[in-house]
Amino acid sequence: MHPLEELERLRSRAEFIFALAGNPNVGKSTIFGRITGMGVMTANYPGMTVELNLALTEFEGRRLGIVDLPGTYALGAVSEDQLVARRGVLQGRPDVVIVILDANNLARNLYLLLQFLDLGCPIVAALNLVDQAEKSGIHTDVQLLSEYLGVPVVPTVGVRGDGLNKLIAQAVEVAERREEYPVIPFSYAMDIESRLRRLARRIQREVEETPYGISPRALAILLLEEDREFVEWMEEREEGRGILEFARRLAAEIEREHGESAPVILARERHGIAGSIAEGVQARSEYRKPLWGERLWEYTTSFKTGLPIMILVMGAVFTVLFWGGGQLASLFARFWENLVSGPLGRALESALGANLLSRTIIWGVDGLGAILEIALPYLLVFYVILAAMEDSGYLNAVAFLTDRLMHRLGLHGRAVIPLISAVGCNVPAVMGTRVLSTRRERIIACALIVLVPCSARVAVIMGGVARFLGWPYAMLLFAIIIILVLGAGLLLNRLLPGESTGLVMEMFPFRVPSPATMAKKTWLRIKDFLYIAAPLIVAGSVLLGILYESGWIEHLLGPLRPLTEWWLGIPAVAGLALILGFLRKELALALLVVLAARVVPGVTESSTLLDFMTRGQVFTFVLVCAVYIPCVATLAVLWRELGARDSLLVAASTVLLALLLGGLSHLVIAML
């Protein structure tokens, strides 16, 4: 459903609508979760992958609608997150915008608040992370800040919930006395301000109705900033052309006087005002002992010490992931077999008999079991670790350290977060590319993510290569995949037009993660996986069951022989397992043995891969399996995020790459 329809539904059920705004690292999601309990629905503008989160909550007997805008540092229309945040406010018309500020980086955060004031939005400010700022020796005069801004300012500690009741009470108070265009308590330089007023007066005289009902002053600022959306709105109107010409004449005067374009000068003015306000309301202790988080931050962001620490941390993460995930997988497998799969299978055969229907249903049940036994254990462990790394701030350090490498791949440091999460599952990792600013970056990131081995493909590598060929060959395969990811990034960065954006994020000292926040983040990510991937895995299992139990699988072997036996050098039955692995990648190995038992003489379901394949064939099979598009669930989410054309191009590219590498592997092995 379109966000405007969702917002109207929310407005019909709520007395007031509040929007939460702030940059991605200011604790906005934590405050949103505290206020709403995370009972949210999401909405996307057509063609946009950045979401609005909406929720309904109660406060002192009032029903309030809360809209969580995308985290952003500004409101220009230069990226999807900024555009969606601005549309969420202008089109959604919330009664109050709650702007969340970081007390540690006040000047940087005030820029966004000043933009909301320029738009004429009723504002309440939450000065978050005041506890950390005080520990860092930063003291903020909250009352003076409120006077400078002309809006209520409430100190908060989001992770503990401190100040949130007062924050919502202030927002309700502002909403009840809402002014059409609140008084702006600051002004730009005299020459800028005079031109703004001249343009605003002309707009007021000649334009009957401004876009989104914004004030003439707000529209004047946007026209001087050459905002494309509002310039196009003006161009479509007869009276607008004269106003645009007047705005361009004023902008040219500003450029002649200041030596820079009007948009740059307005941005400088806003930054200057933000810096002056922050300097006037904050005092810093002259000397204090550095906090442990600050000392650790220095070590982890220095290239000399940070890179070795990052390697050790990543090694520990993957060790815990594979050991902890393996333990959970064994536990879940025993639970599923003893309490669900076994009894249910016997019950179905007893009720329906051993026929196509009962056996196909059992395949579907086994699909649920695969989610519980293979995907979920590793995802659960990984997402807990990921939440801890995010909440502590360590992922910011990783993003900073890897930014230079990411730029070579056409991305920036924040892209490392979805790339790391792809190790758990590619589905939520693809969804995580929404943190990237441009479509070009999302296409590159998605293409690299599908090459990163998820838990299912790691299981294939470990169960095929490590088990039958040994650890050195498994490490070789992982090295090949790493080279592929880097090479694909370098190539796409050259082929796709455009450049990667700069890394912009708040840098704050390490902090102790909040267990409640970690639990909520883990649950939301697991829920996304279950919602999107689980139904497709079960459907794929049912389709596999129908093909296998009906005997149709054997008819596919003939057409595959030229490709599999001649080019890849593997049995046709292995090629069939690769194709069916698209439905459930983790079944590729087990399915290979089961299929071979039906068509290869002397092979039974208790045989091993080496009973009907050579060591070289096993390596080639696993290499191809690990490289081509992970699964039907990943393709589905790629389709949703990138559209049909780009998602199919990414998928087809991985298939061609896998076949090319498989053929080269066969050739090299034959030569050796």
Output DSSP code: residue 224.
H
Total residues belonging to the chain = 672
Question: Which positions ≥6 away from 314 have C-beta within 8 Å?
Answer: none
Q: What is the pLDDT of residue 152?
A: 94
The alpha helices in 282-302, defined as continuous H runs, are: 292-301
Q: What is the pLDDT of residue 417?
A: 79
Q: What is the pLDDT of residue 222?
A: 93
Q: What is the pLDDT of residue 45?
A: 46
Q: Residue 567 in contact with residue 662, Cβ under 8 Å?
A: yes
Q: Which helix (H) or strand (E) holds 284?
A: strand 282-284
Strand partners, 54: 41, 67
The structural architecture, per CATH, of the domain 190-284 is: Orthogonal Bundle (1.10)
Instruction: Report the C-alpha gap between 43 and 90 in whole angstroms.
Output: 16
Closest C-alpha among 45, 129, 130 to residue 80:
45
Taking 3-state DSSP, the helix, strand and coil percentages for the chain, each rounded to the nearest 5, stand at 70, 10, 25
The dihedral region occupied by 120, where left means phi > 0, alpha psi between -120 and 50, and beta the remainder, is left
Give the torsion sign (CA, 318, 321, 327, 331): negative
Q: Residue 450 in contact with residue 629, Cβ under 8 Å?
A: yes
Closest C-alpha among 431, 452, 429 to residue 627:
452
Q: What is the pLDDT of residues 27-52, one digit of tens each?
A: 787 788 888 875 555 554 444 556 77
Q: What is the pLDDT of residue 480?
A: 94
Give the CATH superfamily of 3-176.
P-loop containing nucleotide triphosphate hydrolases (3.40.50.300)
Closest C-alpha among 582, 616, 609 to residue 595:
609
Q: What is the pLDDT of residue 466?
A: 86
Instruction: Report the C-alpha gap between 362 and 47 in whole angstroms.
Output: 39
Pairing of strands 282-284, 138-140: antiparallel
Which residues in the chain land under pLDDT 50?
44-47
**205, exposed or middle or buried, with CB in 10 Å at 0-12, 13-18, 19+?**
exposed
Instruction: Report the C-alpha gap between 128 and 99 in whole angstroms.
Output: 10
Q: Residue 18 in contact with residue 10, Cβ under 8 Å?
A: no
Question: Which positions ≥6 away from 449 have C-beta within 8 Å?
Answer: 418, 419, 422, 426, 429, 430, 433
Strand partners, 162: 157
Q: Residue 196 in contact with residue 170, Cβ under 8 Å?
A: no
Q: What is the pLDDT of residues 88-136, one digit of tens each?
A: 889 888 999 999 999 988 998 999 999 999 998 999 999 998 888 888 7
Average pLDDT, the chain: 83
Instruction: Report the C-alpha gap between 422 and 451 in whole angstroms.
Output: 9
Instruction: Report the C-alpha gap between 235 and 252 in whole angstroms.
Output: 19
pTM of whole model > 0.85? no
Residues of the chain within CATH 1.10.287 domain(s) are: 190-284
The DSSP code sequence of 229-276 is HHHHHHHTSHHHHHHHHHHHHHHHHHHHHHSS-HHHHHHHHHHHHHHH
Instruction: Report the C-alpha gap between 161 and 123 in whole angstroms.
Output: 20
Matching residue, tokens 């940070």: 306
Instruction: Report the C-alpha gap between 379 and 526 in whole angstroms.
Output: 7
Instruction: Report the C-alpha gap between 19 and 10 in whole angstroms.
Output: 12
Residues of the chain within CATH 3.40.50.300 domain(s) are: 3-176
Q: What is the pLDDT of residue 46?
A: 45
Q: What is the pLDDT of residue 545?
A: 74
